[in-house]
Structure 1
Amino acid sequence: MSLFKLNRRQALVGIGAGAALAGLPRAGFAQSSVAPITIVINQSPWFDSFRKTVELYEAETGNQVELDVNPFAGSLEKQRNSVRSAAGQYDILIMNSGWFAEMYAGGFVEAITDIDPGFQLDPEVYTLGDTVYWDEATRTMPATGKLMSMPISPLIPLLYYRGDLYAEKGLTVPKTFAELEANARALHNPPGMYGIVQRGARAAHAVAFDFYPYLYGHGGGIFADQLASDYSVTLNSAEGKEALDYYIRLAQEAGHPQTAALDQAEVIQNMVTGKAGHIMMVIAAWSQMDDPTKSIVVDKVEFAAPPSLPGIPSAPGLGHWLGGISKNIPDDRKRAAVEFFRWFQTKEAQIAAAQAGGIPINAAVYREPMAEERNFRWMKPLDEALKTSVNIYQFPEASEVIAVLELGLNRAIGGEITSTDALNTMADEIHTIMSRYNYKTGTLPALS
């Protein structure tokens, strides 16, 4: 864990501070002095851009922010401990897609508009499957619910591919899984080059997150219809088996020989060291591709929406991050947190975030001239893919389901069990979880 104390005297490294400051609003947003706030956040590929954006907020407003930075699982543990104590340690909770529903349903975060009835979400801000809202009566996330959080990073996976190698071999950008497999095989020349490098390691939310575009892109899913509160488990469908078999086949025949041991850092490392023809990776890693201190493939990596089967939309899973305001903190700190959100959501602040390597939450940024620049070639594919992205979980016990997927998928990719056994076992365990919490649920016949 690291504790960052950021203040306006620090250099705004990497943002282009002069230009960014000149472009930001200097009145009418968060200009009044407010209480210092503390944000608990995870260490991730997008953290540095968020840190720089917070530095800019401090320099622009004079308000103070502390960042309490932790590993992924450690951030969740700290948030759970803080919100359950008599007095919360953290003011803004940076919540992952795997656990924000837990915070909503538990009553641990306070609606932004309850703190400040005059607060309005910028209409250009992505609501990410309306997951920023919560209706306590129905325990669902409709746009008519209360505004519970602010998008922080609208993360989904994109396909990263070596554009220079595509040009050499006359390959075209894959729209379907068959095309992706053919292209991966065309580039596969181990050990110097793997056609595709995938994540297979088990962690808090690792291999499951990277498997979602394959599962939903094959027409499969985990549940029948979450929006209708039908949690019948459909993971072990024919579509689910086709998706998992495809994922494993790519790894075995056109991928890395140690796929089951690879986590996000190793997948990224294979790409930036020129050993991967493709990766399906969260967009937050884009800036590392062109960082000459980290990458030998600068300006060679291109981006596209994840492939899918013909007739099925691209279906990247939302792995986004939302900022919620803890309920068990003093009112002055709640109001200070709202002021940070008021500033953070503006187009000007989000342009600066993009310049720092972040992923903007404001759709207006994607229509700016910068989206045409080579450095931001990921913006248009991301904007396209966000339109068909899938919110995988909207119930508070999601972390228990994710743990089942992490173990089962890892074992199947590592060859410990067959895909059929993995899917049947995971489906049974997920059904048990949903039954225990009295959700409407059911099962499919076991795969044979």
Structure 2
Amino acid sequence: MAFFTRQTKPLRTGLAASALALCASLATAAEVPITIVINQSPWFPGFQAVVEKYEEDTGNTVNLDVNPFAGSLEKQRTAVRAGESPFDILIMNAGFFVEFYTGGFMQPLTGIDADFALSEDIFTFDDSVCWDATAKTITCDGDGQLVSVPVNPFLPLLHYRSDLYEEHGLEVPTTWDQLYENAKVMHNPPRMYGISQRGQRGAFDVTFDVFPYILSHGGGVIADQKGGDYTVTINSPETLAGMETYLKLANDVGHPSTAGQTQTNVIQNMATGRAGHIQGVPAPAQFDDPKQSAVVGKVDYAVVPGTEEHGPAPGLGHWLAGIPRNVSDENKQAALAFLTWFQTDEAQHAYAEAGSPPVSKAVMTSDMADEEPYRYMRALAASIPTAQLTFTIPEASQVLAVTELRLNQAIGGELELKEALNMAAEEIAKVLSDAGYDAPMLDPLQ
């Protein structure tokens, strides 16, 4: 494997299992080398390891072009518009994959091999693997075509110090109020913060981390993108309530500079024993490695809390692998061979063993989940059915540019919360209106 670092509802079909078995047998055939463009992230080492296993098992070559989050996205945008893409597989994030679908840049996978199917054990993540080009909507029903394969179930879980829960006789919270009370017990700054939250502005950073708060209060950013209702709701009373819950935790029992906390900071706060809770994607290898962690065996996982009315509602930030139309037929076949192999039970187990969460429900709920290193799996499997896509419009990056700025300013105290949400609403409405959407606004928060 060549490795380049740059500085810059499970799908159920009667034929899926048999078709996958047939395709998997073909995946061991000799294929031309392929290149995958991917982001650097906590789950990347697991993906790298499973790529190496694929190479060992098949003799085929996979090159990885690894970049920071924003750098990977820009490379993908450039690649699909070139005469021929230098990348045979794009690893697309939940916040931006729709722009590649709506642009017609992705090759329907059955257009490469009519017998190709998604394994019945692989989650579809709110049908995000399928696209109906005629209706211009995300769906695996009707004329929806399979255009991608999930590669990482990037959604937040509640991480908590199980040893401190036992010491203080605490119960795992299911609501934000319960989490607040538990965090108060642990809060003893500067030695320990009750919770560490990500609040730093980025490409899809603070917005991703506040989604579980606002969605579980019945709020959001845009009313119903899938259903065609583009009313801007970021300044709704429900979204306000979700943000007030986030800020209550941050201000009362959180890190003193939440607005400056990145994903790396949050993980390090937990790994060094300075956080009683974090909300983040599972990266258990970092907490169970004595070389990286002071809390080995002391971190456990649960579904993120919600409200009594709406329950938990984690936002999907998962990753999908798709094949661009503008690569050769030979390279499309080679890319599909990898995606076929990646879905197999063997590959998914190896993926988990390498430290990356799998995308197979069968693996997440297997006996493997009872083993200490994989104790996060059952919480992950329980979270996926309630997880929601955050953006299903190609203008997501423009909307995110607004939410990342205004939410960060509210968290940091630069803007009063209601002012920040009202400003964001006006700016998002302009983005949507300029793009041709009917995007009415709510009355401003007073």
State the percentage of identical aligned residues: 50
Shift of 1:203: 0.6
Which residue is 1:107 aligned to?
104
AA paired with 2:389? N
Which residue is 1:232 aligned to?
231
Which residue is 1:312 aligned to?
310
Which residue is 1:92 aligned to?
89
Identify which of 75, 79, 82 aligns with 2:76. Answer: 79
Shift of 1:5: 6.9
Cα separation, 2, equivalents of 1:306 and 1:27: 35
AA paired with 2:27? A
Which residue is 1:411 aligned to?
409
Secondary structure at the aligned position of 1:359 is classed as coil
Secondary structure at the aligned position of 2:3 is classed as strand
Is 2:118 the counterpart of 1:117? Answer: no
Identify which of 53, 59, 62 aligns with 2:59. Answer: 62
Secondary structure at the aligned position of 1:76 is classed as helix
Mapped contact 2:23–2:337 kept (Cα < 8 A): no
Mapped contact 1:91–1:325 kept (Cα < 8 A): yes
Secondary structure at the aligned position of 2:312 is classed as coil
Identify which of 352, 374, 378 aligns with 2:376. Answer: 378
Identify which of 299, 302, 307 aligns with 1:301. Answer: 299
Which residue is 1:167 aligned to?
166
Mapped contact 1:158–1:382 kept (Cα < 8 A): yes
Cα separation, 2, equivalents of 1:397 and 1:410: 20
Which residue is 2:328 aligned to?
330
Which residue is 1:21 aligned to?
none
Which residue is 1:11 aligned to?
none
Cα separation, 2, equivalents of 1:353 and 1:247: 33
Cα separation, 2, equivalents of 1:205 and 1:227: 20
Which residue is 1:267 aligned to?
266
Q: Alignment length, in residue pairs?
A: 429
Shift of 1:311: 2.5
Residues 384-425 of structure 1: per-residue CA shift (max 9 Å, x gap): 011100111111111111111100010000000111001111
Cα separation, 2, equivalents of 1:355 and 1:313: 31
Cα separation, 2, equivalents of 1:106 and 1:44: 26
AA paired with 1:62? G
Greater mean alpha carbon deviation, residues 62-71 or residues 106-115: 106-115
Residues 34-58 of structure 1: per-residue CA shift (max 9 Å, x gap): 1110000000000000000000000
AA paired with 1:93? L
Secondary structure at the aligned position of 1:423 is classed as helix
Secondary structure at the aligned position of 1:387 is classed as helix
Shift of 1:376: 1.1
Cα separation, 1, equivalents of 2:360 and 2:352: 10
Distance change in 2, residues 1:81/1:158 (3 Å): same
Shift of 1:27: 7.1
Give ranges in structure 1 of 5+ residues lacking alignment. Answer: 7-23
AA paired with 1:116? D
Mapped contact 1:134–1:148 kept (Cα < 8 A): yes
AA paired with 1:190? P
Cα separation, 1, equivalents of 2:349 and 2:373: 13
Cα separation, 2, equivalents of 1:364 and 1:178: 33
Which residue is 1:17 aligned to?
none
Which residue is 1:358 aligned to?
356
Mapped contact 1:200–1:413 kept (Cα < 8 A): yes
Mapped contact 1:224–1:231 kept (Cα < 8 A): yes
Counterpart mapping for 1:139-154 below 5 A:
139-144=136-141, 145-154=144-153
Cα separation, 2, equivalents of 1:26 and 1:221: 40
Greater mean alpha carbon deviation, residues 337-346 or residues 368-377: 368-377
Is 2:193 the counterpart of 1:194? Answer: yes
Identify which of 44, 47, 52 aligns with 2:49. Answer: 52
Mapped contact 1:409–1:422 kept (Cα < 8 A): yes
Distance change in 2, residues 1:25/1:374 (3 Å): farther
Mapped contact 1:213–1:315 kept (Cα < 8 A): yes
Secondary structure at the aligned position of 1:28 is classed as helix
Identify which of 15, 37, 40 aligns with 2:37. Answer: 40
Cα separation, 2, equivalents of 1:443 and 1:26: 49
Cα separation, 1, equivalents of 2:26 and 2:172: 43
Which residue is 1:251 aligned to?
250
Residues 152-173 of structure 1: per-residue CA shift (max 9 Å, x gap): 1011000000011111111111
Which residue is 1:278 aligned to?
277
Counterpart mapping for 1:397-408 below 5 A:
397-408=395-406
Distance change in 2, residues 1:433/1:224 (3 Å): same
Residues 336-367 of structure 1: per-residue CA shift (max 9 Å, x gap): 00100110011111011000011111111123
Shift of 1:26: 12
Residues 243-299 of structure 1: per-residue CA shift (max 9 Å, x gap): 11221121111111111111000000000000000001112x222111111001011
Is 2:445 the counterpart of 1:447? Answer: yes
Shift of 1:3: 6.2
Mapped contact 1:3–1:69 kept (Cα < 8 A): no
Which residue is 2:386 aligned to?
388
Secondary structure at the aligned position of 1:109 is classed as coil
Which residue is 1:180 aligned to?
179
Shift of 1:29: 3.9
Shift of 1:234: 1.1
Cα separation, 2, equivalents of 1:276 and 1:25: 48
Mapped contact 1:29–1:343 kept (Cα < 8 A): no
TM-score, with length taken from structure 1: 0.93
AA paired with 2:381? D
TM-score, with length taken from structure 2: 0.94
Superposed CA RMSD in Å reads: 1.7
